[in-house]
Amino acid sequence: MNKFPRSAYVHIPFCHRRCFYCDFAVIPLGNKVETLQGYGSKTVREYLHFLYKEILSIKQKGTLSTIYVGGGTPSILDPKQIKELIDLFKENYGIDYGAEITMEVDPASFNKDDLYGFINAGINRFSLGVQSFNNQILQKSGRRHLREDAEKSCLWLKGVHDSGLIKSWSLDLIQNLPLSGFKEWQNDLEKAISFSPPHMSIYDLNIEDGTVFKKLVNLGKLILPSDKEALRNSESTHLILNNSGYSRYEISNYCLPGHQSRHNRVYWSGLGWWSFGQGSTSSPWGEKLTRPRISKEYKEWVIRQCELNLDSSLINKDFVYKELDEKIMLGLRLKEGIDIYKLLKEQNWETKKFESNFSKLLKEWNRFLESGLLVRKGNRLFLSDPKGMELSNQILISMFQWWDEIN
């Protein structure tokens, strides 16, 4: 039997409104929500009731070393509700001394008193969803906050970190949003760096089905940075952050020394994790389970879990190894890359098949090794930075083609 997962993700689906690029499982509640008592509080309380039932449904579990409260917009909740959630894990799972407990916050959804309340509840790392400091870009993206809100939130987080009240905090930006040309993106990066966040996540804009942006693209009404501008934006990201002391340890993540996200590394390293809440995906023993994205269906699912039997993926058993293609994909996202020989050996292929498949993959990747997108040191392969990381899709597509061919 494998050890119990030591990480848990909790999905809080509530938002004031849905951003134009968002396809997450969220429940927009409007601008006037008050989660303890008032508008929207009944919806929130009902969801938390089922969320807590799901968390308590796991009978075989161990102490946690990371907890990540994501969304949605978890900072819509009152600090008392966040404390109730953290205490639930503390009393029923156990939380390691020195555990990393992260919470996502939105600049327009909390004030300074809330921040201190979240810290008192047990949060010691925050992830701030700024996306941009440009009011026009924010408006075009459907964001509720303004530049002033983002700056104020950054100053608060910098203050509590500098005073030792939290271990770390992260600032999130999205590159290649509408109106975000080369100059605008450089301004966003430089403004972000001015607050000295220990960690930064830089996400590429993806146009997802069912979003406002997708509809605007289909109507020909969404003007995005050109491919040339997008490439310049990416190149400037690496240059500016690298010159400011940030190390890129994963395709979308940069940090100062000692500030990598311990929780997110669990996903990229292929380790097991618990997950709770509407639309979230768990993988405690290697097999993935995604909960229903619709609120009514999620609640019905929780009732079935509690009254009948837990899904087999949630029961302690021998670890089910991820498919090789997924392990390669996740491992290549990290700066240290993969030990390709070790990964292929884990497939337990007989010698002739192993040598044939290994040779085919290296032949497929030879052009990327020659062009410098991929680097090999012994049996370890990793993406070059920045070129390989920016063009990683080309390498992954060729790997998936290899995987389909040998299967």
Are 332 and 239 in the same domain?
no
Instruction: Clarify whether residues 16 and 146 are in a common domain.
Output: yes
Question: Please, which pLDDT band fits residue 321 given cuts at 50, 70 and 90?
Answer: low
- How many CB atoms are located within 10 Å of the residue 342 CB? 10
Question: Are residue 355 and residue 239 in the same domain, yes or no?
Answer: no
Do residues 375 and 387 touch, judged by C-beta distance below 8 A? no
Max CA separation in the chain (angstroms): 68
User: Rounded CA gap, 62 and 78, in Å?
Assistant: 28
The answer as to whether 304 is a domain residue is no
Residues 11, 127: one domain?
yes
Amino acid at site 397 = I
Does residue 336 sit in the same domain as residue 231? no
Share of the chain above pLDDT 70, in %: 98
The answer to whether position 371 is within a domain reads yes
Identify whether 293 is part of a domain: no
Q: Are both 253 and 390 inside the same structural domain? A: no
Using omega within 30 degrees of 0 as the cis cutoff, is the peptide bond preceding 72 cis?
A: yes
Closest to 63 (Cα-Cα) out of 140, 3, 151: 3
Residue 2 in this model has a pLDDT that exceeds 60: no
Rounded distance, CA 325 to CA 316, Å?
Answer: 24
Instruction: Give the mean model confidence (pLDDT) for residues 370-377.
Output: 95
Query: Is there a domain that residue 286 lies in?
Result: no
d(CA 355, CA 52): 50
Q: Please compute Rg for the chain using Cα positions.
A: 22
Answer yes or no: is pLDDT of 7 > 50: yes
| Cα distance between residue 192 and residue 200, in whole Å | 9
| Residue 77, CB-side half-sphere exposure with 13 Å CA sphere | 29
Domain limits for position 263: 7-268
**Percent of all residues in the chain with a pLDDT value above 90, rounded to a whole number:** 81
In angstroms, the Cα distances linking 155 to 51, 115, 123, 159, 243 are 33, 12, 18, 6, 22
Tokens describing residue 12: 């809080």
Question: How far is it, in rounded angstroms, from Cα 221 to Cα 225?
Answer: 13
Q: Is the peptide bond before 178 cis (omega within 30 degrees of 0)?
A: no
Which residues, listed in sequence order, are joined to residue 253 by a DSSP beta bridge? 201, 250
Report H helices in 8-164: 41-57, 79-92, 112-121, 135-140, 147-162
On whether residue 294 sits in a domain, the answer given is: no
The b-or-e profile of 177-203 (16+ CB within 10 A means b, else e) is bbbbebebbbebbebbbebebbbbbbe
Q: In 128-145, which positions are buried (b, 16+ CB within 10 angstroms) versus exposed (e)?
A: bbbbbbbeebbebbebbb
Confidence at residue 320, expressed as pLDDT on a 0 to 100 scale: 62
Say if residue 335 is in the same domain as residue 233: no
Decide if 276 is inside a domain.
no
Determine the pLDDT at residue 1: 41
> Is 289 domain-assigned?
no
Q: Note whether 180 and 82 are same-domain residues.
A: yes
59-87 confidence digits (pLDDT tens) = 989 999 999 999 999 999 999 999 999 99
pLDDT above 50 (res 398): yes
Query: Tens digits of per-residue pLDDT, 115-135?
Result: 999 999 999 999 999 999 999
Q: Report DSSP state, residue 407.
A: -
Do 257 and 188 reside in the same domain of the chain?
yes
End-to-end CA distance of the chain: 29
Residues 230 and 87 in one domain: yes
Q: Of 268, 288, 310, which residue is a domain's last?
A: 268
Residue whose structure tokens are 């303890």: 36
Other beta carbons less than 10 A from residue 218's beta carbon: 10
Residue 346: predicted pLDDT = 86
Please report which confidence band the pLDDT of residue 347 belongs to, taking 50, 70 and 90 as the band edges: confident
Distance CA 100, CA 298 (A): 28
Look up the pTM and report it. Answer: 0.93
Domain C-terminal end among 227, 252, 268 = 268
247 and 358, same domain (yes or no): no
Residue 317 belongs to some domain of the structure: no
Q: State residue 318's pLDDT score.
A: 66
Please provide the DSSP assignment of 284-349 as one string. Answer: TTS--EE--SSHHHHHHHHHHHHHS---GGGS--S--PPPHHHHHHHHHTBTT-EEHHHHHHTT--
Residue 22 CB partners (closer than 8 Å, separation 6+): 142, 208, 211
Q: Are residues 26 and 167 in the same domain?
A: yes
CATH code: domain of residue 188:
3.20.20.70
- The domain that holds 347 is classified in CATH as 1.10.10
Residue type, 37: Q
**Is residue 319 over pLDDT 70?**
no
Tokens 């009732």 belong to 303
How many domains does one find in the chain? 2
**3-class DSSP state for residue 46?**
helix
